[in-house]
Amino acid sequence: MRDMDVLTLLKSASLLVPEETAGENDLTVDDVWEYLAHGEWEVALGLLEELGDVRPLPAAFWASMAAAAEELRLERSAAWCHWREGETRHGVIRADLTLRAPSDGGRRSPVPGAGVLRPMWDIGHRTPTGEPAYAVARLWVEGAPALEPGGRAPVRLAPLTPELWRHLRPGQVITLHETRRVGGTAVLLEVGLPG
């Protein structure tokens, strides 16, 4: 690891956070600078991620954060920062997902949480014959490494074709499909796609 690279990347990211931004326990970018001054880069990275949840920050912030996390070999953090960078460019879709229980025909293994699963979603489009025309979106489970079968959690979706999702609004229900059967139901919490 090149220490100067991590420090430079984290400094660059912190300069993109408005001074008045405060996270939990009123932590600010000044606190980040304190940790940077003492070589506490992982802590600084975590605080910057938290500040990135307070208000929208530019793609350059998340790109610097992802590069720093990669240098620190923090795989999940790097994946999260890349995910957030993508959201700044392509928009945000958040939902409350409930998976079907295995006893009800649902999956038997946990859904990986870090954006690797790309299930199909019934978002209301139909083929000329009236069948569902599924749309694909990667899935990120918020705050957990995985979602257990039959479980419920807030998730983020990254559509492969965002323009297909623009008609959606908070409160609408969409369904997850890994096969023809419904694998889960999601209530949309936030839909912020560029128009």
The rounded average pLDDT for each run of 10 residues, N- to C-terminus, in the chain (195 residues) is 78 92 86 93 94 91 96 95 94 96 93 93 96 96 95 97 94 94 96 82
Stated pTM of the model:
0.89
Please tell me the predicted confidence (pLDDT) of residue 170: 98
Please tell me the predicted confidence (pLDDT) of residue 1: 47
User: Which ranges of 57-125 does DSSP label H, i.e. alpha helix?
Assistant: 59-71, 75-90
Please tell me the predicted confidence (pLDDT) of residue 3: 59
Closest among 121, 94, 84, 56 to 189, alpha carbons compared: 94
C-alpha to C-alpha distance for 177 and 55, rounded to whole angstroms: 32
Class of the domain covering 92-192: mainly beta
C-alpha to C-alpha distance for 168 and 69, rounded to whole angstroms: 33
The torsion angles phi and psi of 138, rounded to 5 degrees, stand at -65, 155
Going from N- to C-terminal start, the domains of the chain cover 3-89, 92-192
